[in-house]
């Protein structure tokens, strides 16, 4: 079935377009975590695993990226390989970068902000990632690094399933911005805002849901009855058996922050440099945590998408 959504710059894969037309569950998957958040030695395997987790829960996966100046919602096997190739050298595309990348015919992975924008445009309402971008800790003179993820979620009607924000961020400030932006936050089986590698943080969540059906009820009702077009944030803590050891975590975090300061890392390089530091210095433990939390978020997102499709 062809879709009227397709243009020179937006291509919705046929399987995704069919699922949308038939009202079946679709889950968008973010590509920056594959191309910039994980070592290239594992990204293809993880990309494939996320897609199969979504399928196993009865939904259709739509990995989103910009390739050759075309926004792709749903990648075939060859495009997924291109996205995850060791020599791909992809740009990191937030919402503001989409126009330039499309016009100039570039290749790039999309962040939560970029992915949510394209998902909404294609009519995909649920998406899974690892951690949402947030407010960074002020590193000396480098104050004011606030991820566009927060701003985009405030005005884009997509539900994002993530494991909170990375503990390398200022979680207190991030939680405040979520409140100011009128973004509903649902703890999925938790009363605590998770911090990516760890199941908990010092902060609570305003609402708790314990099932995918309850999350879908909130998302559906919010969309239909609350004006403003904000997305919904569903926070799902990493499965307990894959949580990072707290002492190791605290040490890596302190070293990581020092390293950023020392090297003067800024802007869109901050998150990839920190993730790489964690993965190297933990001997792979943080990598396992990262992969397992994303896979669990893909499962939860798929279950929610299936429930939403039933409504």
Residues 6+ apart with CB under 8 A from 166: 131, 134, 195, 196, 197, 271, 274, 275
**Window 1-30: contact mask with ligand PSU (x via CB under 6 A):** -----------------------------x
Interface segment toward Mn ion; rule CB under 5 A; list 48-56, 142-150, 161-169, 195-203? 142-150
72, 95, 199, 268: which one binds ligand PSU (CB under 6 A): 268
CA distance 16 to 9: 17
DSSP 18: H
- Torsion angle in degrees (nearest 10) through CA of 41, 47, 50, 54: -160
Compute the distance between CA of residue 64 and CA of residue 111 in angstroms, rounded to an integer.
10
By a kind-dependent CB cut-off of 5 to 8 A, residue 33 interacts, out of Mn ion, ligand PSU, none, with ligand PSU
Catalytic residue among 81, 141, 166, 200: 166
Output 3 or 282, the one with its CB closest to ligand PSU: 282
Rounded to a whole number of angstroms, the minimum distance from the CB of residue 271 to ligand PSU is 4
166 is catalytic: yes
285-310 vs 40-56: helix crossing angle, rounded to 10: 30
Q: Is residue 164 near ligand PSU by the rule CB under 6 A?
A: no
Taking alpha carbons only, the member of 37, 237, 255, 49 closest to residue 133 is: 37
Cβ–Cβ < 8 Å for 113, 133: yes
Work out whether 108 is an interface residue with ligand PSU (CB under 6 A). no
According to the binding rule CB under 5 A, does residue 145 interact with Mn ion? yes
Over the window 146 to 175, marking each residue x when it contacts Mn ion by CB under 5 A and - when it does not, the resulting string is -x----------------------------
Give yes or no: 268 in active site: no
Q: Residue count of the chain, please give it.
A: 311
97 lies in the binding site for Mn ion (CB under 5 A)? no
Instruction: State the minimum distance, in angstroms, from the CB of residue 10 to ligand PSU.
Output: 20
Residue in 288, 155, 281 with CA at minimum distance from that of residue 227: 155
Contact at 8 Å (CB) between 14 and 62?
no
Question: If binding is defined by CB under 6 A, does position 37 make contact with ligand PSU?
Answer: yes
Stretch in the footprint of ligand PSU (CB under 6 A) among 128-136, 152-160, 226-234, 276-284: 128-136
List of residues contacting Mn ion (CB under 5 A): 145, 147
Instruction: Catalogue the active-site residues.
Output: 30, 166
Question: Which positions touch ligand PSU (CB under 6 A)?
Answer: 30, 32-33, 36-37, 111-112, 129-131, 133, 147, 149, 268, 271, 275, 290, 294
């Amino acid at each position: 079935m062809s879709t009227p959504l397709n243009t020179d710059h937006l291509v919705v894969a046929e399987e995704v377009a069919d699922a949308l037309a038939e009202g079946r569950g679709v889950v968008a998957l973010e590509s920056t975590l594959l191309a910039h958040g994980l070592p290239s030695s594992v990204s293809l395997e993880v990309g494939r695993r996320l897609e199969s987790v979504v399928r196993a829960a009865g939904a259709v996966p739509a990995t989103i990226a910009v390739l050759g100046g075309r926004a792709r919602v749903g990648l075939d096997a060859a495009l997924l390989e291109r996205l995850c190739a060791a020599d791909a050298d992809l740009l990191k595309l937030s919402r503001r970068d989409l126009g330039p990348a499309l016009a100039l015919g570039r290749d790039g992975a999309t962040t939560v902000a970029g992915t949510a924008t394209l998902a909404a445009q294609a009519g995909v309402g649920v998406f899974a990632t690892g951690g949402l971008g947030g407010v960074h800790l002020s590193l000396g003179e480098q104050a004011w690094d606030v991820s566009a993820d927060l701003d985009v979620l405030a005005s884009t009607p997509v539900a994002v399933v993530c494991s909170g924000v990375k503990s390398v961020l200022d979680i207190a400030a991030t939680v405040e911005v979520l409140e100011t932006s009128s973004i509903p936050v649902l703890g999925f089986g938790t009363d605590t805002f998770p911090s990516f590698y760890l199941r908990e943080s010092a902060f609570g969540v305003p609402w708790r849901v314990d099932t995918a059906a309850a999350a879908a009820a909130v998302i559906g009702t919010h969309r239909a009855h609350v004006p403003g077009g904000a997305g919904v944030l569903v926070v799902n803590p990493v499965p307990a058996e894959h949580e990072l050891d707290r002492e190791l975590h605290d040490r890596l975090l302190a070293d990581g922050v020092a390293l950023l300061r020392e090297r003067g890392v800024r802007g869109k390089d901050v998150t990839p440099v920190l993730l790489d530091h964690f993965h190297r210095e933990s001997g792979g433990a943080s990598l396992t945590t990262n992969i397992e939390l994303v896979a669990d978020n893909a499962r939860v997102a798929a279950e929610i998408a299936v429930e939403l499709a039933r409504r």
